Amino acid sequence: MAYSHRTVLLEPAIDALLSPAFGRRSAVPEQAPPLDGVYVDGTFGRGGHSRLLLSRLAPGARLLVFDKDPAAIAEALALRADDARVEIVHEGFADLAAQLDRLGIDRVDGVLLDLGVSSPQIDEAERGFSFMRDGPLDMRMDTSRGQTAAQWLAEADQEQIKEVIADYGEERFAFQIAKAIVARRQSRPLRTTGELAELVAGAVRTREKGQHPATRTFQAVRIHINEELAQLAHALPAALTRLRAGGRLAVISFHSLEDRMVKQCFAAAAHPGRDRARLPIPERDMPQPYVTLLGRVQADAAEVADNVRARSAVLRVAERTAVPLSLDEASAFVRLPGRPVSQRRAGRAAR
- Annotated binding site for S-adenosyl-L-methionine: which residue ranges? 47-49, 67, 93, 114, 121
Do β-strands 291-298 and 314-320 pair in parallel, antiparallel, or remain unpaired? antiparallel
Contacts of 76 (CB under 8 A, 6+ apart): 44, 47, 50, 65, 67, 86, 88
| Long-range CB contacts for residues 96-100, cutoff 8 Å, separation at least 24 | 96/40, 96/42, 96/66, 96/234, 96/235, 96/238, 96/239, 96/242, 97/238, 97/241, 97/242, 97/327, 99/64, 99/66, 100/64, 100/242
What single-letter DSSP state applies at residue 35? B
Q: Please tell me whether residue 346 adopts helix, strand or coil conformation.
A: helix
Q: What is the DSSP string of 190-245?
A: --BHHHHHHHHHHH-SS--TTS-TTHHHHHHHHHHHHTHHHHHHHHHHHHHHHEEE
The strands making up 38-41's β-sheet, listed across from edge to edge, are 86-89, 62-66, 38-41, 108-114, 243-253, 314-320, 291-298
Say if CB 103 and CB 92 are below 8 A apart: no
Rg from Cα positions in the chain: 21
Instruction: Provide the annotated binding site.
Output: 47-49, 67, 93, 114, 121
